[in-house]
Structure 1
Amino acid sequence: MQFHHEGIDFSELGGDLVTDYLVSVQADLTIVDRDVVIYDEPCFPVAELAWSLTRWLRAVERQDFRLDSLSSSLIGLVTIAREGNGWVVFSEQSSHVRSGPVSDDVIEACARDFISSVSRDLTAYGVDPDRIIG
């Protein structure tokens, strides 16, 4: 399982508020489980996804994750839902394409890797990722 982004773009950034970064920092996002593409979206708000995943990982009792994006009216562009003893990943845009169930450790590592990757991009741009992602 991997959340991958590339081509990070800060060109739409018009301010210095946290919400400006969450909405405006975009990249092409691909979520892959083994060789199956679960979700593929250009110009996706990756800082917002990293911010939301950070809060989800901090929860004492982890519930299903549904990205409630400032950039879209659809809740669940990225969804991580409990299924049996594991987690499945999908998008409400194409909910019929789902990952296989993965363990708590695997989904947590996947989320942390994605957050770290976005944090590195923010740092390279000269922004403190703790201020934006938390």
Structure 2
Amino acid sequence: MEFRYDHLTTQDLRGTSRAELLVNIEANLSVVDADGPVFQEDLFPVAELARDLSRWAAQPEEKRENFEWESMSYDEKGTVRIHATEAGWRLGSVQTPDSWSRPVSWPELLGSIRDYVARVRRDIEALGIDSAFIEANDD
């Protein structure tokens, strides 16, 4: 499973508050596995997802529940969701309810999340924006 994005943009960025940065650093996102795309969305808030995935993945295993993303940009919960199954972790979206990734192990999922977060941080820094807001724990 891989989180991919391209065409990173700040075209809608109008301020420097954490909320502005999280919501308005966008890119065309796709999540793919061996079978192809599982989820795709243009002008997706990649920084906000990076922050929330990073927080979720850092939770102790005994406290980690399924991930049902609550974005400031979407009315519906679960635009990105990650569920544990007996076979492994699967990623899907309420926008495409019948499309789920193949199950992957926790180490594989964690590696995909870490790679995604690192790429988002690197690309934000390349834009001249301090990416520390992604790791901030206070809201």
Asked whether the two chains share a fold, i.e. TM above 0.5, the reply is: yes
Consecutive aligned runs of 4 or more in structure 1 exceeding 6 Å deviation: none
Aligned-residue sequence identity (percent) comes to 35
Question: What is the Cα deviation at residue 115 of structure 1?
Answer: 0.3
User: Which residue matches 2:3?
Assistant: 3
Query: By how many angstroms is 1:126 displaced?
Result: 1.2
In the TM superposition, 1:15-94 aligns within 5 A as 15-60=15-60, 61-94=63-96
- Partner residue, 1:117: 119
Selected match of 2:108 from 92, 97, 106: 106
User: What is the rounded CA distance, in whole Å, between the counterparts of 2:78 and 2:18 in structure 1?
Assistant: 21
1:18-55 Cα offsets, whole Å, 9 max, x none, are: 11011111100000011321001100000000010111
Take 1:129 and 1:53, find their aligned partners in 2: how far apart are those partners? 15
Q: TM-score, normalised by structure 2?
A: 0.92
Cα offsets for 1:64-109 (capped at 9, x unmatched): 1111000010111111110114100001111201111100001000
Number of aligned positions between the proteins: 133
1:133: which partner in 2? 134
Unpaired runs of at least 5, structure 2:
none
